[in-house]
Structure 1
Amino acid sequence: MRRTPLLFLVKKIPGALYRAIAAQVRSRTIRRRPVTIAAANFEDFTPKCRCLPEEDGRERSRYLTLLKAWGADAYPVAEADRIVDHVFNLLGSGDRSLGERIAWNVDFKTGYGWENDYFGRIRLLDPDSPADVKVVWELSRFQHLFTLGKAYWLTGAAKYALEFRRQIEDWAEQNPVELSVNWTCAMEAAIRAVNWIAGYAFFKDAPALDGVFWSRFHQLLYLHGRFIMAHLENRSRYNNNHYLADLAGLIWLGIYFGDHYVCGERAGNNPKVWLTFAVRELERQLFIQVNPDGTDYETATAYHRLVTEILLLTAILCRKNGIEFSEAFMKRLRRMAGFLMRLTKPDGTIPGVGDADDGRLLILTHYSGWNRWDCRDLLAIAGEFFDDDRLRFYGAGHREAALWAAGSWRQPFIQPLPLGSQAFRQGGYYLLRNERVYCLIRCGELSCRGEGGHSHNDQLSLVLNVQGTDLIVDPGLYVYSADYRMRNLFRSTGVHNTLCVAGCEQNRFDPGELFAMEEESHGECLAFRSDYFCGQHRGYRSSAGLIHRRSVHLTRDGITLDDQLFGKPGRGNWHLNFTLAPGVSARVEGSEIELARDGVAVRIGGGMNAAAAVGQGWLATSYGAIVPTRRLTVRSLSPEQYRLTLRFTLARRARESCACERELLARRGELG
């Protein structure tokens, strides 16, 4: 098992001790002298930057014309009215009314509130409490402002501008700078700042908002910039999406304030410094955190989505304001979008590999109902930004997102060839696909070069989609600190679609360390072709003296799965797990199994010396939301049996249905 280097730990001790002492001193200081700057510094300030969205009158008129032509002008108003009524649905909460005055420091799912204190002294994680600080943070990201602003543009109703003002002022009153739970994470301050800037673009000319409010608003944003710059999340051996969000926030704030800065005690912490530093550092971090094949090194598909959105929207803003990243940066960013395109299943969603927390930078459309696993909005945006018809084609249906982010949307001129198999070796994703079958296999190093913060024990786990219908799915991620037991369950080997050896984890982890899993499995691909994958991991070698090897053959109508164990005989029972998608029925008939859903049926056979059973399973549909499903278990009948082959084949009736459907479409001229 790879251990954290002793020298690294020794170096961290003085830093931790220093921060504890500094927190005590800082707490006493700001109690006596709150962190602020005079709002008068911003009385004559007006941002001169180009924003997302473009806010001049001509562009506004063009946006509204297109929204009405596309039939996208009604739902934002309905969603904004819910926001005015303080009805929110966040992190699996379902619709919740937060009352006349929002309590910004309370987890409204549990009722637990964090008392104001210096942020460095606030305890965020408590294994004995079901409270989840992410609920508080999520609301305070203000990602609903974009929807509120769209409704204002569409209707001109003053109530949306007044609600914007009311929420900003109320939040500021309840969250003095550095003195609340909403200041405990620089990433949260950065995302909040980005969304406030987007809100400014919508409401800057609202008659209901006077100069006094805007001076206070600019003051608060400036304080956010100072805070982020002073508390960058870059102290780890391997930084992650938090640091990227910090840098993006500084770029947005630096562009927003331009040459405007406040003299005095912290004059060096100013917008020009933020922008220069963050642009340079974001470029550097991309090549650290994003692999050459375009995959994010946190090895979690939801975090890849978040990181792509952070980088893409920030690159768009920079270009609008005359700032360009290098050609190499753009090439790798384009590959990130290409990975999402390849990863997208026929049903338009991506598999939920690894951790997921519904993280976004800006929610441009469908604030209260966006699909957590549909990334085609980013494909549409990237298609416009890179002028790439292939991305445009696979981002079809999300033209509104492209309009808000890139300022345009164009119908693709070409229909690209169907997506095929591809290996993303640095990221550890291996995709086998043809016109009927989609199979993704996970095999590679843990997140952040083996630290495993957002990784699961999912080596050689797979997902299977046939005829556009999910049959075998990744169970996802339910919650983090709100329930330690469930957090650890959903990252354990036993819930993933792989081979499990009794009593063993692929990578051992401390149940109390929610974001650490040191590399033991060392997954590696041994062979890959367009119709074949073979890989192995060593996660059971130290605990059971075994190595697991899995091969997957892609056929026209399914896959053949071959699992082998190499090592000392008789070292324990083992079984295969398969989490079935909701709605999938599973029927066991002797040595054969049939999975069926929505008219698609797959038969599993192989003459196996094993027993199959269907039991209770769980699927996290988003952070904080869980639904029951079925789990198929195929268990070895003998500890001496070290190999099992399963053939997953599309049932004949489904093949015939597919052939008829294709023939009908061809006759209609809908297929070439």
Structure 2
Amino acid sequence: YDVLGYRRLSFSPLESDRPEGASPGDAAVDWHLDPVSGRRAPAAWWSAIRYLDPHIGDHKVIWEVNRHQHWIGLGRTAWLTGDPAARDRFVVELESWLAANPPLVGINWASMLEVAFRSISWIWALHMFASWPGTETESRAGEQSPDEPPWMVDLLAGLELQLAHIARNLSYYFSPNTHLTGEALALYVAGLALPELAGSREWSETGRRILVEESVRQVLPDGGHAERSTCYHRYSLDFYLMALTLARLNGDREAEAAFAPAVTRQARFARAVANDDGILPLIGDEDGGSLLPIDGARRHDVLGSLAWASLLLPEVGAVEDLPEEVMWATGSLGLENRQRPDGDKPVRAPARTRATQRSRSFPETGFYVSNKGLGDHLVIDAGPHGFLNGGHAHADALSMVLSIAGRPFAIDPGSGTYTVDRGLRDRLRSSQAHNTLTLDGRSQSEPDGPFHWKRAATSLAHRWHSNGAFDYFEGSEDGYLPALHDRTLFSSDGKRWFVVDRITSESEHVADVFWQIDPSWQPEVVQPGVVRCRHGDGTAVWLVTTAPQVDLFNGDRE
């Protein structure tokens, strides 16, 4: 399995857990194993599982394969090739999972959001394999072979248990953010897709109500998500895209009227913050996952979501490329909407081309985008420290990310891990790992565990001017009070960026300004205060500073 950046991980049971005489290739999937650390989560009551404890393994690795999103890929293979091996593999894994995960026991029942992701995958699998053409050719009139497990009955029974578990334990108190909307989406999808199940009406009504309420609470007026994380913004956008698709297909006009503005605002925000190739910067936490990973696109490539939005809502703006995932996600609705009103030519949609986007401000979120075209794209973060307790926030006040000529240059390194390596977690959340300033070697904000903070800085934009000639930004952050840090940014033509940091204080301090340069560039100090960065394609960028000292460090080792 390819999971969260790891390639070809084996989830076969550890040697000590295999039946006598069984080889790794014969063994079933161990659904409780973290193969990276070799640790296994215990078979305990779901609420007793301390999944943030690294001693039981990396819960994100365990959960990712238990989302069963790869079953959608197996369904895709079956539909496109007619190969029955794909369905056979799905059936084997389904029966294996049910045997290894009795109701309410183990880590795979511990997170309602993960149960929700898995439930959506099961509904997709039910559709893809129950209606797969190969089913009819293998069994007359759709009758199941007597030697085949009763997988449809087992799947529906297991699905009903999981949905009831979600409905009883919604994340109103723990992580009432994308956890809550993801859980609500699963209830809404299941309630509409499977009206035969006893709880379907209640599920759909509950999911619908939560999604409508949270579209106002979590989606800010400027379109940004309240957590100020681009990864979780992408999750939220996709949740509402799927909800809008289902509402439209099922004639739920009232829900559609609430979901459409949420999609429009979030899509416009994502389109502006992503670079001209549709790649989102890794601002805030990112967990490496997505709602519908069917075509292997990079998790921070938002073009699929923008194309999906453009098919449902023309006001979002067209996209030139229509990724495969969009056609799977929208089905006949997407095919219908892809035609122009006159039925003539298909809509060509936002383009994986240079520069239809221009500079934008998002004051409620606190993101400011300088984009003068030609692939030059800058985002500066001058907003609050995340949402609620700042669980997915980083110490990145007044940090900026920059692409030059379509190439990532000054980057945010992302998250790395959530719980397994506390030192790495804190390091990648620190101000030193972002393109901002520190005082006296301290980070602007101080972490207190993987998802909490002892103290948190807040940044604020004071001025933003943008026109055809220049972009101008002024902002401040309060992470070093009583000293105050102000940052000014000026861009005149998209080829030169002037960044001025100013410290206001009655005492002396040591200030450091950090720049995280993408590995595709090779920096070299050519003279005091001058750094030349060469890209692999020969492009050169110059960093010029008045600082008395410039040091280069390798981020992997130092």
**Counterpart residue number, 1:342:** 272
Deviations 1:118-148 (A, max 9, x none): 1111222335x38201111110100011110
- Asked whether the 8 Å contact 2:247–2:256 carries over to 1, the reply is no
- Asked whether the 8 Å contact 2:160–2:197 carries over to 1, the reply is no
* Distance (whole Å) between structure 1 residues aligned to residue 258 and residue 100 of structure 2: 44
Residue 459 to residue 391, structure 1, CA distance change in 2 (3 Å): farther
One-letter code of the match for 1:532? Y
**Counterpart residue number, 2:16:** none
**Counterpart residue number, 1:175:** 101
* Distance (whole Å) between structure 2 residues aligned to residue 415 and residue 333 of structure 1: 16
* Distance (whole Å) between structure 2 residues aligned to residue 197 and residue 568 of structure 1: 62
Segments of 5+ residues of structure 1 without an aligned counterpart are 1-87, 262-269, 619-627, 632-672
**Counterpart residue number, 1:249:** 186
**Relative contact order, CA 8 A, sep 6+: which one is greater?**
1
- Please say which structure displays the higher CA radius of gyration: 1
* Distance (whole Å) between structure 1 residues aligned to residue 404 and residue 197 of structure 2: 57
One-letter code of the match for 1:538? D
SS of the residue 1:613 aligns to: coil
Aligned pair 1:441/2:380, yes or no? Answer: yes
1:519 Cα shift? Answer: 5.9
* Distance (whole Å) between structure 1 residues aligned to residue 455 and residue 260 of structure 2: 31
1:260 Cα shift? Answer: 3.5
1:424 Cα shift? Answer: 1.0
Aligned pair 1:302/2:240, yes or no? Answer: no
SS of the residue 2:552 aligns to: strand
Residue 228 to residue 414, structure 1, CA distance change in 2 (3 Å): closer
- Asked whether the 8 Å contact 1:248–1:314 carries over to 2, the reply is yes
One-letter code of the match for 2:411? V
Aligned pair 1:538/2:473, yes or no? Answer: no
Q: 1:279 aligns with which of 184, 201, 208?
A: 208
Aligned pair 1:373/2:300, yes or no? Answer: yes
SS of the residue 1:611 aligns to: coil
**Counterpart residue number, 1:406:** 330
Residue 285 to residue 414, structure 1, CA distance change in 2 (3 Å): closer
**Counterpart residue number, 1:108:** 35
Q: 1:382 aligns with which of 309, 328, 342?
A: 309
Segments of 5+ residues of structure 2 without an aligned counterpart are 12-24, 339-345
**Counterpart residue number, 1:62:** none
Residue 406 to residue 332, structure 1, CA distance change in 2 (3 Å): same
- Asked whether the 8 Å contact 2:307–2:350 carries over to 1, the reply is no
* Distance (whole Å) between structure 2 residues aligned to residue 518 and residue 231 of structure 1: 29
* Distance (whole Å) between structure 2 residues aligned to residue 159 and residue 359 of structure 1: 26
Q: Normalising by structure 1, what TM-score? A: 0.73
One-letter code of the match for 2:8? D
SS of the residue 2:266 aligns to: helix
SS of the residue 1:459 aligns to: coil
- Asked whether the 8 Å contact 1:537–1:547 carries over to 2, the reply is yes
**Counterpart residue number, 2:14:** none
- Asked whether the 8 Å contact 2:425–2:450 carries over to 1, the reply is yes
Aligned pair 1:95/2:22, yes or no? Answer: no
One-letter code of the match for 2:314? D
Residue 456 to residue 609, structure 1, CA distance change in 2 (3 Å): closer
* Distance (whole Å) between structure 2 residues aligned to residue 471 and residue 215 of structure 1: 52
Q: 1:517 aligns with which of 450, 453, 457?
A: 453
- What is the total number of aligned residue pairs between the two structures? 509
Aligned pair 1:166/2:92, yes or no? Answer: yes
**Counterpart residue number, 2:412:** 474
1:259 Cα shift? Answer: 4.7
Deviations 1:160-203 (A, max 9, x none): 11111111111000000101110001111111010010011111
* Distance (whole Å) between structure 2 residues aligned to residue 614 and residue 503 of structure 1: 16
Deviations 1:459-507 (A, max 9, x none): 0111111111222111111001111111111111111110111232212
One-letter code of the match for 2:539? V
Residue 389 to residue 123, structure 1, CA distance change in 2 (3 Å): closer
1:358 Cα shift? Answer: 1.4
- Asked whether the 8 Å contact 1:107–1:113 carries over to 2, the reply is yes
* Distance (whole Å) between structure 1 residues aligned to residue 172 and residue 230 of structure 2: 22
- Asked whether the 8 Å contact 2:304–2:325 carries over to 1, the reply is yes
Q: 2:46 aligns with which of 104, 119, 130?
A: 119
- Asked whether the 8 Å contact 1:340–1:375 carries over to 2, the reply is yes
SS of the residue 2:291 aligns to: coil
**Counterpart residue number, 1:43:** none
- Asked whether the 8 Å contact 1:494–1:500 carries over to 2, the reply is yes
Residue 188 to residue 520, structure 1, CA distance change in 2 (3 Å): closer
SS of the residue 2:158 aligns to: helix
SS of the residue 2:150 aligns to: helix
* Distance (whole Å) between structure 1 residues aligned to residue 212 and residue 547 of structure 2: 54
One-letter code of the match for 1:136? I
SS of the residue 2:533 aligns to: strand
Residue 138 to residue 149, structure 1, CA distance change in 2 (3 Å): same
**Counterpart residue number, 1:52:** none
SS of the residue 1:96 aligns to: coil
Deviations 1:280-321 (A, max 9, x none): 121001111110111111111011111111111122122212
**TM superposition outliers: structure 1 runs of 4+ over 4 Å:** 413-417
* Distance (whole Å) between structure 2 residues aligned to residue 177 and residue 167 of structure 1: 17
- Asked whether the 8 Å contact 1:292–1:332 carries over to 2, the reply is no
SS of the residue 2:408 aligns to: strand
**Counterpart residue number, 1:56:** none
* Distance (whole Å) between structure 2 residues aligned to residue 443 and residue 389 of structure 1: 25
**Counterpart residue number, 1:353:** 283
SS of the residue 2:446 aligns to: coil
**Counterpart residue number, 2:342:** none
- Asked whether the 8 Å contact 1:422–1:432 carries over to 2, the reply is yes
* Distance (whole Å) between structure 2 residues aligned to residue 583 and residue 277 of structure 1: 48
Which is further off, 324-333 or 348-357? Answer: 324-333
1:328 Cα shift? Answer: 4.5
* Distance (whole Å) between structure 2 residues aligned to residue 136 and residue 540 of structure 1: 39
1:322 Cα shift? Answer: 2.0
One-letter code of the match for 2:383? G
One-letter code of the match for 2:347? P
1:447-596 counterparts in 2 under 5 A? 447-449=386-388, 451-510=389-448, 513-517=449-453, 520-530=456-466, 531-541=471-481, 545-556=482-493, 557-570=495-508, 572-588=509-525, 589-596=527-534
- Asked whether the 8 Å contact 1:338–1:391 carries over to 2, the reply is no
- Percent identity reads 27
Q: 2:217 aligns with which of 285, 288, 311?
A: 288
- Asked whether the 8 Å contact 2:413–2:433 carries over to 1, the reply is yes
Residue 189 to residue 258, structure 1, CA distance change in 2 (3 Å): same
* Distance (whole Å) between structure 2 residues aligned to residue 540 and residue 221 of structure 1: 51
* Distance (whole Å) between structure 1 residues aligned to residue 439 and residue 553 of structure 2: 18
- Asked whether the 8 Å contact 1:301–1:354 carries over to 2, the reply is yes
* Distance (whole Å) between structure 2 residues aligned to residue 289 and residue 406 of structure 1: 25
* Distance (whole Å) between structure 2 residues aligned to residue 414 and residue 349 of structure 1: 17
Q: Normalising by structure 2, what TM-score? A: 0.87
Residue 344 to residue 318, structure 1, CA distance change in 2 (3 Å): same
* Distance (whole Å) between structure 2 residues aligned to residue 319 and residue 536 of structure 1: 44
* Distance (whole Å) between structure 2 residues aligned to residue 356 and residue 399 of structure 1: 22
- Asked whether the 8 Å contact 2:229–2:392 carries over to 1, the reply is yes
Residue 111 to residue 318, structure 1, CA distance change in 2 (3 Å): same
1:414 Cα shift? Answer: 7.4
One-letter code of the match for 1:596? R
1:630-649 counterparts in 2 under 5 A? none
